Amino acid sequence: MTMSDDNGVVHHVAMLPSAGMGHLTPFLRLATFFLNHNIKVTLITPHPTHTPSESQLLSRFQSSFPQVNQINFNVESSLSTQSPNSHIAIPYFQMIDDIRTFAAKALSHLLSSLSPPLSFFVFDYFMLSSVLSITQSLSLPNYVLFTSSASFFALFSYFSTLPSSLSEHETVEIQGIPPIPISSISPYLLAPNSIFKKVFIEDSSQITKFDGFFINTFEALEHQLLEAVNAGKVLPGMPPLLPFGPFVPCEFEKEGDQWRKPLKWLDDQPRGSVVFANFGSTTEFGWDQIREIADGLVRSGIRFLLVVKDKKYFNEDDKKEEAGLEEVLGYELVDRVRDKGLVMKEWVYQSGILSHEAIGGFLSHCGWNSIVEAAWNGVPIFGWPQRGDQKMNAEVVERSGWGTWNKNWGWIGERLVTGEEIGDAIKVFMNNESFKIKASKIKVAARKARSVGGDCEVTLHKLFQK
């Protein structure tokens, strides 16, 4: 049964994610929320996906929700015709640019042909400028899913008004929010000729022309930022920033049975005794840094579950491969980690691990999905931001009092962080009772926001009563 208004009109939402698991996952979780409230969903997905993981996740989503109208569109790229064995993959920002080009050319006919007529269109924030003229010509309400924090959204919305040479300043001052250190802003946004910077300037200048922005956060996590944006302090004339979080992990995200392996190991560990170290789907450390991380976890004396993702290499047949765990860590270090830890070099179901009672802390890259999952489960975070929005996300955790991060460790590859540094930091972090108390409170607030009659449902009903 689909949701309809008092006149019997069926509510129908079309959704268009961009590339990357960090963007696709929140779209599918929001789509699931809509489906659970009997809203018809059409999902428009770029093809080919940027990674095989995205394709597999979409397949599992479709199997779980066959009622979803899923439309695949082909994204042509000057790089997509490379041979399978080529060293050149389609770079992430090239993929984003290709999707933006498609959106500008092909969306109008696709959206206008959908039946029943759309209530509104939800798309990724990387596509603002490409989609705006289309939704305006169709008189179609347009909402953007911003897949990061409200803190990063404040920077994004204000970005087109900032000086061109940001690197010359120590902080960015935006009314209503804490000062943002230049060191916390991605180098991609500071480089003069960066495609990322160009897109940010172009899109943020159009931001007041949309009907609203959805975001995976909630009041207890980012109250100050939400209030500042919605009060017009950050930028006058802003459309509403609508917190739909926390987005709840879904059953279809599990892959096969291999996700059960770490849970079996965790079952044998004392409550709250394990630090979970995982750095997301795209962070690829060099072997020297991976060895320092493993060494540091051993030195800490804390039980640990480490997920390793190393840089791939090319074999003699010119095929991309990953080395085995013993080759990455070395046999001596593999022996040392067995006493206190479990190291995995395969996909894990992160949400399931974070919900296990043995987990007492999370060493994380501070991708926004990971932070919200930790909040949902009340797990303190020790942040090690690697790229993009992650330092600003780490600041959100630190300001909320349920975690910390080391500001001297730099962006990925800037320096080798030693095992001694990591071990000392983890030991102090895992023994901080204040983080645990604050994390428990964040968990209660997250569950309340997502409960029946909570903030998420209130926001949803307001949206469809407009």
Whether residue 3 is predicted with pLDDT greater than 70 in this model: the reply is no
**Residue 89, pLDDT score:** 52
- Which of 124, 203, 295, 389 is catalytic? The answer is 124
Compute, in degrees rounded to 10, the torsion defined by CA atoms 88, 92, 98, 100.
-170
The answer to whether domain 12-250+451-464 and domain 257-445 are alike in fold is yes
**Cβ-based neighbours of 168, under 8 Å, separated by 6 or more:** none
**Residue 330, pLDDT score:** 86
From CA 343, how far away is CA 375, in angstroms rounded? 24
pLDDT of 291-335, one tens digit each? 999 999 999 999 999 999 875 544 444 444 567 888 888 888 988
Pick the CATH number of 12-250+451-464 from 1.10.10.10, 3.40.50.2000, 3.40.1190.20, 3.30.70.260: 3.40.50.2000
Q: What is the pTM (predicted TM-score) of this model? A: 0.91
Q: Does residue 81 contact residue 99 with C-beta atoms inside 8 Å? A: no
Q: In which band, very low, low, confident or very high, does the pLDDT at 82 lie, cut at 50, 70 and 90?
A: very low
The token pair that represents 171 in the structure block: 């902080």
**Residue 51, pLDDT score:** 79
Average pLDDT for 76-81: 53
**Cβ-based neighbours of 128, under 8 Å, separated by 6 or more:** 144, 202, 203, 206, 207, 210
Average pLDDT for 162-183: 86
Whether residue 88 is predicted with pLDDT greater than 50 in this model: the reply is no
The token pair that represents 121 in the structure block: 């269109």
pLDDT of 358-396, one tens digit each? 999 999 999 999 999 999 999 999 999 999 999 999 999
Q: Which of 413, 159, 416 is nearest to 293 (CA)?
A: 416
Q: Which of the residue ranges 7-11, 129-133, 339-343, 404-408 would you say has the lowest mean pLDDT? A: 7-11
**Residue 36, pLDDT score:** 93
Q: Tell which wins on pLDDT, 84 or 447.
A: 447
Look up 23 and say whether it is catalytic: yes
From CA 389, how far away is CA 374, in angstroms rounded? 17
Residue type, 113: S
Average pLDDT for 228-241: 94
- Domain 257-445 carries which CATH code? 3.40.50.2000
Find the angle CA(11)-CA(221)-CA(399) to the nearest 5 degrees.
155
- Which of 23, 50, 356, 365 is catalytic? The answer is 23
Q: Which of the residue ranges 189-193, 316-320, 350-354 would you say has the lowest mean pLDDT? A: 316-320
Average pLDDT for 252-266: 85
Q: Tell which wins on pLDDT, 429 or 74.
A: 429
Look up 211 and say whether it is catalytic: no
Q: What are the residue ranges spanned by the domains of the chain?
A: 12-250+451-464, 257-445
Whether residue 74 is predicted with pLDDT greater than 80 in this model: the reply is no
Q: What is the largest CA-CA distance in the chain?
A: 70
Q: Does residue 435 contact residue 272 with C-beta atoms inside 8 Å? A: no
Q: In which band, very low, low, confident or very high, does the pLDDT at 188 lie, cut at 50, 70 and 90?
A: confident
Whether residue 232 is predicted with pLDDT greater than 90 in this model: the reply is yes
**Residue 312, pLDDT score:** 55
Residue type, 133: S
What value does the mean pLDDT of the chain take? 88
Q: Which of 16, 119, 77 is nearest to 463 (CA)?
A: 119
From CA 211, how far away is CA 449, in angstroms rounded? 23
**Residue 466, pLDDT score:** 60
From CA 145, how far away is CA 44, in angstroms rounded? 14
**Residue 8, pLDDT score:** 53
The token pair that represents 249 in the structure block: 């992990």
The percent of residues in the chain predicted with pLDDT above 90, rounded, is: 62
Average pLDDT for 420-435: 98
Whether residue 54 is predicted with pLDDT greater than 70 in this model: the reply is yes
Whether residue 177 is predicted with pLDDT greater than 90 in this model: the reply is yes
